[in-house]
Structure 1
Amino acid sequence: MVYYGKGIACAATGDVRTAEKYRELYAAAAKKVPPTRLDFPNRIVDVLKVARLCWMASWSIAKGNFEVAFKHLANAVEADDALLYTEPWGWVVPTRHAYAALSLEQGRVEDAARAYAEDLGLDGSLTRAQQHPNNVWALQGYHECSVKMGREAEAGIIAQQLKVAVAAAECADCFVVLLPEGGCWWTESRR
């Protein structure tokens, strides 16, 4: 997973050449994992599949191949959903967040809103174990979608839920939401 993390970081900063090196190292390491190895009740190869798909999406984004990235992220969501329930989760980073964030960034606001609503458990399509109610990042994304779609009443309700979630959060789980004028959404919202 060290190679995964380094590869994601390199892809996110645009260092595609180094990211590719880490992808190769990750792939070689993943091949050594026997299919019988478990992080009960999930097979490690199934968890690593989610990682590989997320990594491929990040790499595709870094190269500007957004359609390919969407396919990888959609497959990552599917693979993540197929993991069996466990605590902590087999894959701890909600894959719908990445799919929704890319959708929002690329102007697919309806798709982003749908993914955030699923993740938050607002539409009832996921089991409770797959939902992340009151997740700061999903609420932030869903709020942005509601505003962009002109759903003022819904945006107001989500904004209140977001304020409560931010106030209750102990720390940020991610620092990827950058503001156009510089800085990070998390630190600005905490002031």
Structure 2
Amino acid sequence: MLIEGYGHGPVVAGESLVGRRGFWANHLLAMCGDGACVERAVPEWFGGDGADADALAEVLLDPEQWPLFRVLVPDGHPVPGVVVVYRNLVDEFGVDHLHGGQDTGAGLSRLSGLSWQDLNRVADCPEPPAEGVQDVSGRFLLLLPLLSGEWSDEVVRERTVAALVAVGAPEGTVGRAAGHLLGHLERRAVHDSGWGSPLSGG
């Protein structure tokens, strides 16, 4: 699989990893590395345990196979789809978010953020293309690290809790997990009333 801008990098479809124990601990805890936590989040908050998270981290961070997760939409959808790539360069690891419709081979560009409205438009696409992540909760959580701008804390928290429970987070700690994630997003967000998503021309 070739992605424009990645040369012949070893990009592979990663959607089968989304349902494995430890995946959400890896993907979502990556948001929480700014050192600003009063309480340290643990993998168990997201389902599975530390051993599950460690085992899956070896797959997600493999420099010879860079997992790619497609959150696609049909042609004509109001907001383009998003492709999430684990860029596992030895000296330059990162998670890239790209957008540009449902073609994952060309015309993709870097995406720095999504408004709450656009995040939901992509996650809730009623008939996503066959390739890529189909589950609505999985689509939402894959895109959650992109949330930017302004939002209603209560609304975002309610949806985040529901999505985490749907993918296997324990109900006893899911409120703490959601609060932790949203706290990091709030610290990172640009609270500007004139801000708009780059997908909607803002």
The TM-score normalised by the length of structure 2 is 0.28
Q: Which has the higher strand share?
A: 2
* Higher Rg of the two aligned structures: 1
Q: Which has the higher helix share?
A: 1
Structure with more contact order per residue of length (Cα contacts < 8 Å, sep ≥ 6): 2
